[in-house]
Amino acid sequence: MIRALTLAASLLAVAAPQGLAAAEPDWPADWTVIETGMAYEELVASLDQAVKDNKMGLVTRASATAGVKKMLEEDIPGNMVVGVYRPDFAKRMLAASVPAGMEAPVRFYITEDQDADGGSTLAYKAPSLVFAPYDDGGAALDEMAAELDAIFEAIAKQATGM
């Protein structure tokens, strides 16, 4: 898996807007986390293109940054959750496990880095981890999740230029 976190970056803390201290996030160990030198907006656009190129659908988009800007008229660092899925996977998932439907769409998370470099980070939980708790899905759900793992990895690599 792609893992591009460095010890130096994780120890670096800088002042964020509105005087809040921002330290490098402590990402869960089982997530795929890719730090990039790309500007936040550039990574958002690159992820959109990678999703399309890998024949997946952009299902949801939620941005705390946009919400805070609109509702509170304040600026905060870039932050967006992007849900990605496709109807044929939804059909297979539901045939294997109705409760697993709670996990669709599977998400990517884009954050604007708070260091002086001005980069951004793409993070996600592999679909096999997302669907692992659904024992009722058996081999069919596991096979589908493994296919999605490969697609999500390809999307992440393309979006980040890795």
Calculate the average pLDDT of the chain: 87
Using the predicted structure, report yes or no on whether residue 51 has a pLDDT greater than 70: yes
Residue 111 pLDDT: 96
Distance CA 96, CA 17 (A): 46
Task: Show the domains of the chain with their CATH numbers.
Answer: 7-160 (3.30.310.70)
Instruction: Reduce the DSSP state of residue 37 to 3 states and report it.
Output: coil
pLDDT 10s digits, 94-146: 999 999 999 999 999 999 998 767 899 999 999 999 999 999 889 999 999 99
Using the predicted structure, report yes or no on whether residue 11 has a pLDDT greater than 70: no
Residues in the chain, total: 162
Rg (CA), the chain: 17
Question: Would you place residue 22 in the very low, low, confident or very high pLDDT band (cuts 50, 70, 90)?
Answer: low
pLDDT: which is higher, 51 or 10 = 51
Residue 105 pLDDT: 98
Residue 97 pLDDT: 97
Q: What residues form DSSP beta bridges with 19?
A: none
pLDDT: which is higher, 21 or 32 = 32
Q: What residues form DSSP beta bridges with 58?
A: 84
Percent of the chain with pLDDT over 90: 77
Using the predicted structure, report yes or no on whether residue 52 has a pLDDT greater than 90: yes
Helices then strands (H, E): number in the chain?
Answer: 6, 7
Residue 115 pLDDT: 76
- 17 to 50, 76, 146: CA distances (angstroms): 31, 7, 40
pLDDT: which is higher, 22 or 27 = 27
Question: Would you place residue 19 in the very low, low, confident or very high pLDDT band (cuts 50, 70, 90)?
Answer: very low
Q: Are 128 and 153 in contact (CB under 8 A)?
A: no
Tokens representing residue 116 in the block? 């002086």
pLDDT: which is higher, 57 or 136 = 57
